[in-house]
Amino acid sequence: MLQDIRRAVSAVPDPELPMVSIADLGILREVTESDGTVTVVVTPTYSGCPAMDAIRDDVRTAAIAAGATEVVIRTVLSPPWTTDWLTDTAHRILAENGIAPPQPQAAPSGVPLALSIRCPQCGSLATEQSSQFGATACTALHRCRECLEPFTHMKAI
């Protein structure tokens, strides 16, 4: 049963980026069960994203639909969530949806990266940020100088 609950909770979509599940975003930390109580541990993403209440409700609903009776949702703030927790699947789905995925925070050497954002449409690196604020607090609007298409970039944190 825990297997079913884990699968159902993992598939809960992110309210702001509904094409990606909370598991693939790295928000879902663990799902455990003890004495009939299912405990779901989540780590919120951007502090600017007012999505945690919705995620909590959706997680509870999914767990109960999969057979859980008691559901406890624990929010863990440490270590803080980072876009480095996104799975390869999340990167692929974001790109398929025209969203440039976040880049790694630092090279393995620890040197911060300052690479151009790659255009998800044509792959060009000749892009510029057109607005710091996209449709959500997590995204920024960019524009490709090659194909002239605007696109959304998920900010790295």
Binding residues (CB under 5 A) for Zn ion: these are 119, 121-122, 124, 144, 146-147
DSSP assignment of 46-72, as one string? -TT-TTHHHHHHHHHHHHHHTT-SEEE
Q: Which is nearer to Zn ion, 30 or 146 (CB)?
A: 146
Q: Which is nearer to Zn ion, 45 or 139 (CB)?
A: 139
Supply the minimum distance, in Å, between the C-beta of residue 146 and Zn ion: 5
| Dist. CA 127–CA 145, nearest whole Å | 6
Supply the minimum distance, in Å, between the C-beta of residue 70 and Zn ion: 50
102, 113 Cβ separation under 8 angstroms: no
Supply the minimum distance, in Å, between the C-beta of residue 22 and Zn ion: 30
| Dist. CA 24–CA 126, nearest whole Å | 28
Supply the minimum distance, in Å, between the C-beta of residue 28 and Zn ion: 33
Q: Which is nearer to Zn ion, 21 or 127 (CB)?
A: 127
Q: Which is nearer to Zn ion, 64 or 122 (CB)?
A: 122
Peptide bond into 112 cis (omega under 30): no
